[in-house]
Structure 1
């Protein structure tokens, strides 16, 4: 790929998406920045010769294709796709409605699938490209009150890990980003929806969790602008990492998860290794 890339960023109307699009522009790339309301992109980033703001709902396949077509019409290609759009349905599993659980998966999993499905034919034809998907430390580490969100992110991880060898022969690479807690708008009312309390057994834990997370909003230790610039640097490098764990808290969490997995394997190693058919 050339030094100047065409970078398509979803969910670029606010939050981390704005930082990523701005970092790409600062690095001299051409940027297609999408949001449900394209005006939010222009409002956040201003007018720029190398910026195309496009309205896009990632859950609408026809709209996705139209946005990709607009990117090609303006810039001729797409070199880097950054699947950033997403939201957060929080709550205990028994209290999250089936409709909300499906909506979580629709946005966080099928949204990136829709956009990637539209972009991959271009990258295969170019024999070059990078597909970046924003996961989360919750894509590797499950926790209470995050069952729907973690399910959507765990699914993203499996999809991306499996996609990588499928597209590698065509010069297309994949990269999963697993941030910890960064000072974004993820915990704001615009991005987080809480399940309606309905079961007394969960009431006190729900109250404590909502209070704690509300207090955490705006106090997270990670700098989203630093993450965005580092992400653009990695995604446009000659060898993008298959997985990038972003933030000291995420690194510590993933290291502990790796130790836990090995301990769980070792706990029943002899039993697990004795299950072959008898000769």
Structure 2
């Protein structure tokens, strides 16, 4: 069995902690990052008890890339999981630019810095795996969470491009799109009564926020199973034996249903617009993007 050595950001709570502990139980080496290592050790003593190591890291700090690059080299890390993030609730009109930038700094630019820290060593070694923890809201936008969705959409666009860029070097990218999972994630999100302003009361944004809040603690998604699924797809073992080629891994029945609905809607739009879309071109033989052969097809 290959030895996988993991670095997992945001391992001090929720899904990140579940992935870290599951990887350790599989016998893998794990570095879990946290903004507050002292608190992380108190909340999750099992990480060190199982042989894991904590690393002090705020993914929004200027030295994130350098810290990750050093850790990847020193600990021979070959799997990096970009899990650190949080959910910002509220309609766009009501959100301040400070809130918006903070959301993107953590959920997107933090993942960019971590990934940039891992790539050079992975490329030089000829391999590695980068796991992006995304969301069903990164494939289908969610009213009342427009900026959270935007941060995950950005992460997915980055990941699609990276998968092509890094494939020649043996580096794999996997996007895990989680649906509603029973973690503390939603408990840290502002409640609808605090963030939905009067003009939006009763709209789809308000109703969606109310529904998400009411469902906290009752979500169908099992975070331990999600962690196991990610590990199996990364390693190509058990239920993941035939899934090492996938770019996207939707997790949860709701994630699958939302993805299918999005694809059906997108297909209807393409079919409806096909004639107009193809008309809006010069009469030339060049087919444009994407390239004729992608690394995914090779």
TM-score between the two structures when normalised by the length of structure 2: 0.85
Number of residue pairs aligned between Structure 1 and Structure 2: 274
Tell me the residue number matched to 1:61: 62
Tell me the residue number matched to 2:18: 19
Structure 1 pair 5–215 and aligned structure 2 pair: CA distance change class (3 A): same
Tell me the residue number matched to 2:51: 50
**Alpha-carbon offset, residue 273 of structure 1:** 2.1
Q: Is the Cα–Cα contact under 8 Å of residues 32 and 71 in structure 1 kept in the other structure?
A: no
Once residues 94 and 114 of structure 1 are traced to their aligned partners in structure 2, the CA distance between those partners, rounded to angstroms, is 29
Q: Is the Cα–Cα contact under 8 Å of residues 38 and 54 in structure 1 kept in the other structure?
A: yes
Relative to structure 2, which stretch is displaced further, 264-273 or 225-234?
264-273
Please state whether the residue corresponding to 1:271 is helix, strand or coil. helix
In structure 1, the gaps of 5 or more residues are none
Structure 1 pair 268–63 and aligned structure 2 pair: CA distance change class (3 A): closer
- The root-mean-square deviation of aligned C-alpha atoms, in Å, is 2.1
Once residues 9 and 218 of structure 1 are traced to their aligned partners in structure 2, the CA distance between those partners, rounded to angstroms, is 24
Deviations 1:164-190 (A, max 9, x none): 11111111110001011110111112x
Aligned pair 1:202/2:206, yes or no? no
Q: Is the Cα–Cα contact under 8 Å of residues 58 and 115 in structure 1 kept in the other structure?
A: yes
Aligned pair 1:276/2:277, yes or no? no
Tell me the residue number matched to 2:292: none
Tell me the residue number matched to 2:167: 168
Aligned pair 1:242/2:241, yes or no? no
What are the equivalent positions in structure 2 for 1:47-126 lying under 5 Å apart?
47-48=48-49, 50-70=51-71, 72-73=73-74, 75=75, 77-126=76-125
Tell me the residue number matched to 2:295: none
Structure 1 pair 49–126 and aligned structure 2 pair: CA distance change class (3 A): farther
Once residues 31 and 165 of structure 1 are traced to their aligned partners in structure 2, the CA distance between those partners, rounded to angstroms, is 27
Once residues 26 and 84 of structure 2 are traced to their aligned partners in structure 1, the CA distance between those partners, rounded to angstroms, is 21
Once residues 59 and 34 of structure 1 are traced to their aligned partners in structure 2, the CA distance between those partners, rounded to angstroms, is 13
Tell me the residue number matched to 1:137: 136
Deviations 1:18-47 (A, max 9, x none): 100001101110001001012343331432
Once residues 184 and 277 of structure 1 are traced to their aligned partners in structure 2, the CA distance between those partners, rounded to angstroms, is 52
In structure 2, the gaps of 5 or more residues are 285-298
TM-score between the two structures when normalised by the length of structure 1: 0.91
Tell me the residue number matched to 1:181: 180
Once residues 179 and 41 of structure 2 are traced to their aligned partners in structure 1, the CA distance between those partners, rounded to angstroms, is 28
Once residues 83 and 266 of structure 2 are traced to their aligned partners in structure 1, the CA distance between those partners, rounded to angstroms, is 28
**Alpha-carbon offset, residue 229 of structure 1:** 0.9
Tell me the residue number matched to 2:288: none
Deviations 1:108-146 (A, max 9, x none): 100100101111111011111000000111111012111
**Alpha-carbon offset, residue 70 of structure 1:** 4.0
Q: Is the Cα–Cα contact under 8 Å of residues 22 and 45 in structure 1 kept in the other structure?
A: no
